[in-house]
Amino acid sequence: MFEAILLTVITASTPLVLAALGELVTERSGVLNLGVEGMMIMGAACAFVAAQLTGSPYIGILAGILGGGIFSLLFGFLTLTLVANQVATGLALTILGLGLSGQIGEAFVGQPGIKLQPIVFPFLSDIPFFGRVLFRQDLIFYVSIALVVGINWFLFRSRTGLKLRAIGDSHASAHALGINVIRTRYLAVMFGGACAGLAGAQLSLVYTPQWVENMSAGRGWIALALVVFASWRPWRVLAGGYLFGAVGIGQLHAQIVAQNLGIVIPSQFLSALPYAATIVVLIIISHNRRTTLINTPASLGKPFVPDR
């Protein structure tokens, strides 16, 4: 049973981790995009529709990534080229995404979806417990783990990552050094959109293979919060996402176990537990004020107009 629970936790946590990772890169470049929920739901709709039309969940994944990525360009254009307010534009992106995705998916409501099948690694998947849990997953899960490692390396070990962080900390200085601030931010915003789109694809192809309007049900907002509470560190995002998922699934089981034992625990309290637990744990992890300050992109949310 423990194995089954773990599988459920992975499914519940993956979309949070993916969307949060994308937003992390966007925010590290100094751009605050509150449209994660909108990009995620666009990804979910595009992925589902494409998978239904072609019969291939892999084309669906691609469509989800493109859907989220292209949709985020709208945000990029408004905030980076036209220098619109990032907070307002991000919120607008969410509203637009929720509405637009409803239009895109309207003809597909109620259709049974195509579930993305796991990729089973030979030998590794025969390892008792961990092998069975970790090496019989779908492509999106493997990608999410690879992204944690990759983004961590990119941000803290690569030259381009250093430039991206420099832009996030002080776009004026980076600009003075000759780094193309706007171009890098466009790429970071699109990467964030693509990740959110992939998270959406996970929702409509793996988590619940169907299309319903609003099916992301606030997961984009949780991902946004995760980035902040994880103080912009990829591994902490992974930990936070899985903690949230694990406590969320755990509380459902706790309800049943409590019933078996005849104990009364208010379900409302249990429902709030994932939020409380994740916040508390991530605050403890990030309690060092100095390192948190170092990790916070100093230019976050500030508009940048290159001087001419």
Where along the sequence are the contacts to another protein (CB under 8 A)?
1, 4-5, 8, 12, 37, 91, 94-95, 98-99, 102, 106, 109-112, 115, 203, 207-210, 212-215, 217-219, 221, 248-249, 252-253, 255-260, 262-268, 270-271
CB of 160 to another protein, least distance (A): 34
Output 13 or 26, the one with its CB closest to another protein.
Answer: 13
Token readout for 37 is 């929920």
95 vs 149, which CB is nearer to another protein? 95
Measure Cα distances from 256 to 61, 90, 250, 273 in Å.
35, 39, 10, 16
Q: Which two tokens stand for residue 20?
A: 């949060």
Burial of 103 per CB tally in 10 Å (0-12, 13-18, 19+): exposed
Residue with Cβ nearer another protein (37 or 169)? 37
What is the nearest approach in angstroms of another protein to the Cβ of residue 238?
Answer: 19
Least distance (Å) between residue 109 CB and another protein = 4
Which residue, 158 or 271, is less far from another protein as judged by CB?
271
CA–CA distance, 243 with 252 (Å, rounded to integer): 14
Answer for the pair 73, 95: CB distance below 8 angstroms, yes or no.
no
CB of 217 to another protein, least distance (A): 4
How many beta carbons lie within 10 A of that of residue 149, not counting itself? 12
The nearer residue to another protein, 13 or 29, going by C-beta atoms, is 13
Q: Residue 234 CB, nearest distance to another protein (Å)?
A: 23
Q: Return the H-helix or E-strand segment holding 136.
A: strand 136-137
Q: Which CB atom, from 164 or from 249, has the smaller least distance to another protein?
A: 249
Q: 112 near 102, Cβ under 8 Å? A: no
Q: How far apart are the first and last CA of the chain?
A: 64
Distance CA 283, CA 163 (A): 28
Shortest Å distance, C-beta 222 to another protein:
11
